[in-house]
Amino acid sequence: MVLVSIILERDPRFALRFWKSLQKSLGTNLDMSIAYHPETDGQSKRTIQTLEDMLRAYMMDFGNGWDKHLPLAEFSYNNSYHTSIKAAPFEALYERKCRSPVCWSEVGDSQLTGPKMIRKMTEMIVQMKNRLLAARSRQKSYADVRCKPLEFEVGDKVMLKVSPWKGYLIWKT
C-alpha cells in the first residue's frame, strides 16, 4: 500500500531532489505544512501531539518494553472517537466498528490465549482510552485558561486584523 499524501513539518531533508523524485516515482504527494494554514499544519500537529501523549503514557506504564506495545497504541488511536470526524478513524474509513483485538505477541513469547488474552487486551485498551481522555481533558484545560471570552456591545469600537498571507502585499510609501 502506498500513501496518497504525506503531511509533515518543513524539513530541508525532504526538500532535496532525491526525496522529490522518490515521491514522484511512488505517486505520493509530499505536502509541507505552513504556519497559519490549518489544512496541513493543524491536522498534523494535533495528531502528533496525541501520539506523543500516548507514547509518554506507554513509557510510564511499560518502561523499556513500550515499543512492543506500539500496535496497541495504533489500535487505541484508530478506535477512539475523534470530534473532528464525529467517529473513530477506523469506523470512518471502513464504515463499521472494529470487531476484536488481535494478539500482537511475537512467536516464542509467553502468550495469553482465549478469554485471558481477550480480558488482558480489553483492560489495556480501556487503560489507553482513559489516558487519552485524561490527555484531552488536560489539553482542554490549558486551552481554556488561555482563551478569554470576548464580549461586545452595540456601539463598541473594535479593530479588525486582516492577514496579508493571501497573495502578495506591496507596501508603497
What is the DSSP code string of the chain? ---SEEEE---GGGGSHHHHHHHHHHT-EEEEP-TT-TTTHHHHHHHHHHHHHHHHHHHHHHGGGGGGGHHHHHHHHHTS-BTTTTB-HHHHHHSS--------PPTTS----HHHHHHHHHHHHHHHHHHHHHHHHHHHHHHHHH-------TT--------TTSS------
Residue 106 lies in a domain: yes
Residue 137 and residue 91 in one domain: yes
Residue 94 and residue 27 in one domain: no
What would the mean pLDDT of 143-149 be, rounded to a whole number?
77
Residue 2 and residue 55 in one domain: no
Residue 82 and residue 139 in one domain: yes
CB count in 10 Å sphere of residue 24: 11
Residue 25 and residue 72 in one domain: no
Give the pLDDT of residue 104: 46
Residue 114 lies in a domain: yes
Between 133 and 29, name the one with better pLDDT: 133
Q: Is the pLDDT of residue 21 over 60?
A: yes
Q: How confident is the model at residue 81 (pLDDT cuts 50, 70, 90)?
A: confident
Residue 96 lies in a domain: yes
Between 69 and 42, name the one with better pLDDT: 69
What would the mean pLDDT of 57-84 be, rounded to a whole number?
79
Q: How crowded is the C-beta side of 127, counted as CA atoms within 13 Å?
A: 14
Instruction: Report CA dihedral (127, 128, 132, 135) to the nearest 10 degrees.
Output: 70
Residue 28 and residue 40 in one domain: no
Alpha carbon distance 58, 69 (integer Å): 8
Residue 17 and residue 65 in one domain: no
Q: How confident is the model at residue 145 (pLDDT cuts 50, 70, 90)?
A: confident
Rg (CA), the chain: 22
Between 94 and 79, name the one with better pLDDT: 79
Residue 110 and residue 93 in one domain: yes
Residue 5 and residue 44 in one domain: no
Structural domain count of the chain: 2
Domain containing residue 45: 36-146
Q: Is the pLDDT of residue 43 over 50?
A: yes
What pTM, to 2 d.p., does this model score? 0.42
Query: Residue type for 32, please?
Result: M
Give the pLDDT of residue 45: 72
Residue 98 lies in a domain: yes
Residue 84 lies in a domain: yes
Residue 43 and residue 19 in one domain: no
pLDDT digits (tens, 9 = 90+) for 25-38: 877 766 665 555 55
Residue 158 lies in a domain: no
Angle at 29 between CA 87 and CA 93, to 5 degrees: 20
Please state, for a pLDDT cut of 70, what percent of the chain lies above it. 64
Query: Which residues does residue 44 pair with via DSSP β-bridges, in sequence order?
Result: none
What would the mean pLDDT of 125-151 be, rounded to a whole number?
78
Residue 42 and residue 14 in one domain: no
Residue 24 and residue 44 in one domain: no
